[in-house]
């Protein structure tokens, strides 16, 4: 007995068309394709259990990297420094006039010194040389200590110290004991990132499913993009865990790769599924619909994905390990997303057939299943192409107005006290400490090591001179918090004025590096020195970034131009496309500046402005947006070009192509916007900036740029949009 609906057999194309061939094979060998995909997921995830080595560590740029490498080469790890700020909860009381404050300091100092195996170098305002540990206004004291080693016991010893501090705090309820230092601040950041990562996963998946239900109107159709996205992310993260043995990956990279992976996976699947449903609605059987979908949307997915990956390669020009990890992570997850969309997705669609429309939502499912074009976008495109100069001019002017604040953009990394909210106790402690003892919570680390024979007497004299120079308090330097010798390396901590990343901190760092150290320990033969720490890393990172930003921009622009020329065999289309992308990126830059640098919408978005935009944001946004926005651009232009190649007039091709594609592009953009909006709900101000910038740029790109400016530009160009000079006729691509 024959089945009622025999499985479709997709005839492979006779020649070329690699994407069609892969899709045809997958559709005709559904079980093998699906099992192969699941096998890849299992192997990628399971490979993590075979990993035994340590993850690769990023090499910091400049002196920060030099100091870190010296420490690693000597097997040295500086003992973590912790600080406890002692204040009266009634801020008007001074140490000298308050027996309760003095008693709290005495008890705290004794409790920490009693932990002889857990703490070391306990310093207190009550010590003979403790004047520097009393604030200028006399209202605050600082008790400092280092956590005793070996390194594998740092955490346990830190916990003992925290418990002892808590007991003293209980004994003195009217005294504020606020702790901030190396481990406590790092723990606050790690816990925040962990919570944010979990919240991002919790929000993004249900939100994406809800939007997909609205887009498709059917539960089965909506589930497919989500299933592909989840398996893509699982596979990519399994592979990245393996690659992490050789390529540094940090938590920020993981968060960004997760959301980019979710966004592109859903986008690519959405383009594919929507086109297949469209072809079925046009009367084609499942096999023919899959073949047409592979030739059109499948090809566009591959081109778009390659564009995203190649644009991200531009970050490698910076030579920064953190960006290398982001680049590799994004390339891996986009590659897996492409692979899934051209292999297992055709197999799923072939297997489901018309059952893809099961689980329809009342009042929505039937209309979504039958939708072929977007009446709204067709009407907009029609109006724009009738008067392209008017509508194009209005839209361009609006984006230029949005971009205006960009001209005043100031870039500066956010210190931890600016990045995280004061509702986190450790951050609040660091802010209070910064007010009374600038730089104490995160001092610079001066690393000294032997490069040859050293005159010990001369070195001792130079160290004394260095400490006197710093203790004078001039030019933003403050009394060294601690000096520790680990193995053959000496680490001297020096407090720097300012927030840690602002101009005052940078000026103090430069004086330390360029004047104080060369004039003291730099005069001793056989001694090398370098300065590391949060301020030093931010300064060195930004110096490297500024020196390599232009090559990245040039690479991305040239690459995008070449890819579009080859894809559409046109010179006008790439020029227009790049101009439109720059407009949307500029508008998002202006919006980020207006919100975060100028301090608008602070209460709504839950941040406090520090008067600048994080330094890496413009470059990262430019590279990612240029890659992602090409998805929509290529998808829409491909539909327009299809009609033009079929002999449809230029204006009708534009309106028809926009009407057929702008709806799905809007849906994809809405999903991607929702995914990046998750960043806004995260805690760190850098994530909020990235979320606002990316979400705004994608929304602008998919509406104003692709819905108004693109049809306006294409209407003005007319037939010239699709012409290629004879001297470029040799370029590969489809000429008909």
Q: What is the CA radius of gyration of the chain?
A: 30
Distance CA(708)–CA(385), nearest Å, equals 9
Helix/strand/coil percentages in the chain, nearest 5:
70, 10, 25
Indicate whether 251 pLDDT > 70: no
- Least confident residue range of 1-10, 165-174, 658-667: 1-10
Q: Give residue-wise pLDDT tens across range 530-586.
A: 999 989 998 999 898 888 889 999 999 998 888 888 877 788 888 998 999 999 999
Q: CB neighbours (10 Å) of residue 342?
A: 24
**181: β partners:** 82
Distance CA(220)–CA(225), nearest Å, equals 10
Distance CA(196)–CA(473), nearest Å, equals 39
Indicate whether 594 pLDDT > 90: yes
**Section 362-388 average pLDDT:** 72
Distance CA(209)–CA(33), nearest Å, equals 25
64: tokens are 């920060």
- What pLDDT score was predicted for residue 473? 61
* pLDDT grade for 474, boundaries at 50, 70 and 90: low
CATH fold match for the domains 76-186 and 443-532: yes
Which pairs with CB-CB distance under 8 Å and at least 24 residues apart come from 310-313?
310/559, 310/563, 310/627, 311/556, 311/559, 311/560, 311/623, 311/624, 311/626, 311/627, 311/630, 312/623, 312/624, 312/627, 313/555
Residue 150: CB partners within 8 Å, gap ≥ 6?
none
Q: Which residue has the tokens 């299933």?
A: 227
Q: What angle do CA 696, 697, 700 make, to 5 degrees?
A: 85
Distance CA(564)–CA(626), nearest Å, equals 12
Indicate whether 202 pLDDT > 50: yes
Residue 592: CB partners within 8 Å, gap ≥ 6?
613, 617, 621, 689, 692, 693, 696
Strands (DSSP E) found in 432-580: 444-450, 482-486, 489-494, 527-532
Indicate whether 384 pLDDT > 80: yes
CA distances from 612 to 337, 591, 685 (A): 35, 13, 11
Q: Give residue-wise pLDDT tens across range 145-155.
A: 999 878 889 99
Annotate 32-93 with DSSP letters as a single string: HHHHHHHHHHHHHHHGGGG--SPPP-PPPSHHHHHHHHHHHHTT--PPPEEEEEEEESSTT-
**DSSP for residue 100:** H
Neighbour-count burial of 474, counting CB atoms closer than 10 A to its CB (0-12 exposed, 13-18 middle, 19+ buried): exposed
Distance CA(676)–CA(624), nearest Å, equals 12
Q: Which residues of 583-610 are buried (b: 16+ CB within 10 A; e: fewer)?
A: bbbbbbbbbbbbbbbeeeeeeebebebb
552: tokens are 């990245």
Indicate whether 211 pLDDT > 50: yes
**Section 368-391 average pLDDT:** 79
* pLDDT grade for 130, boundaries at 50, 70 and 90: confident
- What pLDDT score was predicted for residue 4? 43
**DSSP for residue 121:** E
Q: What is the longest distance spanned by two Cα atoms in the chain?
A: 100
198: tokens are 């979990």
Q: CB neighbours (10 Å) of residue 488?
A: 12
Q: Give residue-wise pLDDT tens across range 8-31.
A: 565 555 444 788 888 889 988 999
Q: How far is CA 150 from the centre of its chain?
A: 34
Report helix angle 617-645 to 710-717, nearest 10.
50
Strands (DSSP E) found in 205-348: none
**DSSP for residue 516:** I
Q: Which CATH number fits domain 1-53+217-371: 1.10.3470, 1.20.1640, 1.10.238, 3.40.190?
A: 1.20.1640
Number of H helices, E strands in the chain: 27, 8
Q: Class for domain 443-532, per CATH?
A: alpha beta
Distance CA(8)–CA(311), nearest Å, equals 38
With CA atoms as reference, report the closest residue to 532 among 443, 460, 593: 443
Given CATH 3.30.70.3040, say whether it is the number of domain 373-421+554-736: no
- Work out whether strand 140-147 and strand 81-88 pair parallel, antiparallel, or are unpaired: antiparallel
470: tokens are 């710093």
**229: β partners:** none
Q: Which residue has the tokens 């723990």?
A: 187
Distance CA(317)–CA(553), nearest Å, equals 10
- What pLDDT score was predicted for residue 9? 62
Residue 321: CB partners within 8 Å, gap ≥ 6?
58, 59, 60, 248
**Section 357-378 average pLDDT:** 66
**Section 243-253 average pLDDT:** 77
* pLDDT grade for 731, boundaries at 50, 70 and 90: low
Distance CA(447)–CA(515), nearest Å, equals 16
Q: What is the pTM of this model?
A: 0.85
With CA atoms as reference, report the closest residue to 709 among 400, 394, 404: 394
> Is-contact 445 492, C-beta < 8 A?
yes
Annotate 676-733 with DSSP letters as a single string: HHHHHTSSSHHHHHHHHHHHHHHHHIIIIIIIIIHHHHHHHHGGGGG---GGGTTS-S
**DSSP for residue 597:** I
- What pLDDT score was predicted for residue 304? 82
Q: Give residue-wise pLDDT tens across range 214-223.
A: 777 788 888 8
* pLDDT grade for 372, boundaries at 50, 70 and 90: low
Q: What is the mean pLDDT of the chain?
A: 85
> What is the domain partition of the chain in residue ranges?
1-53+217-371, 76-186, 373-421+554-736, 443-532
Distance CA(22)–CA(33), nearest Å, equals 10
498: tokens are 């300012």
Which pairs with CB-CB distance under 8 Å and at least 24 residues apart come from 93-102?
93/139, 94/137, 94/138, 94/139, 95/125, 95/134, 95/138, 95/139, 95/140, 95/141, 96/138, 100/172, 100/174, 100/175, 101/141, 101/175, 102/126
Phi, psi of 477 (to 5 degrees): -100, 145
Strands (DSSP E) found in 328-457: 444-450
- Least confident residue range of 102-116, 434-448, 629-643, 694-708: 629-643
* pLDDT grade for 471, boundaries at 50, 70 and 90: confident
With CA atoms as reference, report the closest residue to 200 among 158, 152, 255: 255
Q: Class for domain 76-186, per CATH?
A: alpha beta
Q: CB neighbours (10 Å) of residue 375?
A: 10
- What pLDDT score was predicted for residue 260? 81
> Is-contact 79 149, C-beta < 8 A?
yes
Residue 140 host element (H or E): strand 140-147
* pLDDT grade for 692, boundaries at 50, 70 and 90: very high
Judged by phi (left if over 0) then psi (alpha if -120 to 50, else beta), residue 249 lies in: beta
């Amino acid at each position: 007995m024959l089945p009622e609906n025999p499985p479709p057999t997709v005839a492979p194309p006779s020649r070329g068309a690699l994407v069609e061939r892969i899709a045809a094979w997958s559709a005709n060998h559904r079980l093998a394709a699906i099992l192969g995909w699941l096998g890849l997921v299992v192997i990628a995830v399971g490979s993590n259990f075979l990993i035994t080595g340590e993850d690769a560590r990023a090499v910091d740029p400049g002196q920060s990297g030099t100091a870190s490498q010296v420490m690693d080469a000597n097997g040295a790890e500086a003992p973590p420094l912790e600080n406890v700020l002692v204040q009266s909860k009634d801020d008007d009381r001074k140490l000298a006039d308050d027996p309760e404050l003095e008693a709290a300091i005495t008890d705290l100092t004794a409790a920490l010194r009693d932990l002889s195996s857990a703490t070391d170098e306990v310093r207190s305002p009550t010590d003979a040389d403790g004047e520097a540990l009393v604030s200028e206004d006399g209202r605050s004291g600082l008790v400092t200590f280092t956590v005793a080693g070996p390194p594998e016991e740092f955490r346990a010893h830190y916990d003992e110290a925290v418990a002892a501090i808590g007991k003293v705090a209980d004994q003195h309820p009217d005294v504020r004991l606020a702790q901030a230092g190396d481990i406590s601040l790092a723990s606050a950041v790690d816990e925040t990132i962990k919570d944010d990562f979990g919240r991002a996963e919790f929000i993004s998946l249900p939100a994406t499913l809800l939007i997909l239900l609205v887009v498709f109107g059917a539960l089965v159709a909506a589930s497919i993009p989500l299933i592909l996205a989840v398996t893509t992310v699982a596979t990519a993260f399994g592979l990245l865990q393996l690659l992490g043995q050789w390529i540094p990956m940090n938590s920020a990279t993981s968060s960004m790769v997760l959301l980019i992976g979710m966004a592109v996976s859903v986008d690519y699947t959405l383009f594919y599924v929507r086109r297949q449903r469209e072809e079925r609605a046009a009367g084609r059987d499942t096999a023919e619909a899959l073949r047409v979908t592979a030739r059109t949307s499948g090809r566009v997915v591959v081109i778009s994905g390659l564009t995203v990956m190649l644009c991200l390669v531009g970050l490698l020009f910076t030579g920064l390990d953190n960006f290398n990890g982001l680049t590799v992570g994004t390339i891996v997850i986009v590659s897996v997303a492409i692979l899934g969309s051209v292999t297992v997705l055709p197999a799923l669609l072939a297997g489901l057939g018309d059952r893809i429309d099961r689980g329809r939502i009342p009042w929505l499912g039937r209309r979504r299943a039958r939708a072929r074009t977007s009446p709204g976008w067709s009407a907009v495109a029609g109006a724009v192409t009738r008067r392209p100069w008017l509508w194009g001019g209005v839209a361009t002017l609006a984006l230029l107005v949005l971009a205006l604040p960009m001209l005043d953009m100031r870039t500066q990394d956010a210190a931890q006290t600016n990045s995280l909210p004061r509702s986190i106790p450790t951050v609040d402690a660091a802010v209070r400490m910064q007010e009374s003892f600038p730089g104490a919570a995160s001092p610079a680390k001066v690393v000294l090591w032997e490069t040859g024979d050293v005159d010990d007497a001369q070195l001792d004299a130079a160290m004394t001179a260095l400490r006197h120079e710093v203790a004078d308090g001039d030019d933003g330097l403050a009394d060294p918090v601690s000096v520790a010798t680990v193995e053959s390396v000496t680490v001297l901590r020096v407090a720097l004025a300012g927030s840690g990343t602002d101009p005052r901190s940078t000026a103090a760092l430069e004086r330390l590096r360029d004047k104080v150290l060369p004039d003291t320990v730099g005069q001793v033969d056989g001694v090398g020195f370098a300065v590391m720490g949060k301020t030093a890393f931010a300064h060195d990172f930004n110096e490297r970034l500024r020196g390599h930003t232009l090559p990245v921009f040039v690479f991305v622009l040239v690459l995008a131009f070449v890819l579009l020329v080859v894809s559409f065999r046109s010179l006008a289309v790439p020029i227009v496309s790049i101009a439109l992308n720059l407009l949307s990126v500029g508008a998002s830059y202006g919006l980020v500046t207006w919100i975060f640098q100028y301090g608008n919408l602070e209460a709504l978005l839950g941040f406090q402005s520090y008067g600048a935009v994080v330094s890496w944001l413009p470059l990262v946004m430019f590279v990612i947006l240029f890659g992602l926005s090409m998805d929509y651009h290529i998808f829409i232009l491909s539909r327009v070009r299809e009609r033009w190649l079929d002999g449809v007039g230029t204006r009708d091709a534009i309106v028809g192509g926009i009407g057929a594609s702008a709806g799905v592009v809007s849906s994809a953009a809405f999903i991607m916007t929702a995914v990046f909006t998750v960043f806004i709900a995260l805690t760190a101000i850098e994530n909020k900036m990235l979320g606002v910038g990316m979400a705004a740029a994608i929304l602008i790109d998919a509406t104003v740029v692709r819905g108004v400016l693109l049809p306006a530009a294409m209407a003005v160009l007319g037939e010239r949009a699709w012409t290629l000079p004879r001297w470029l006729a040799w370029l590969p691509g489809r000429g008909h």
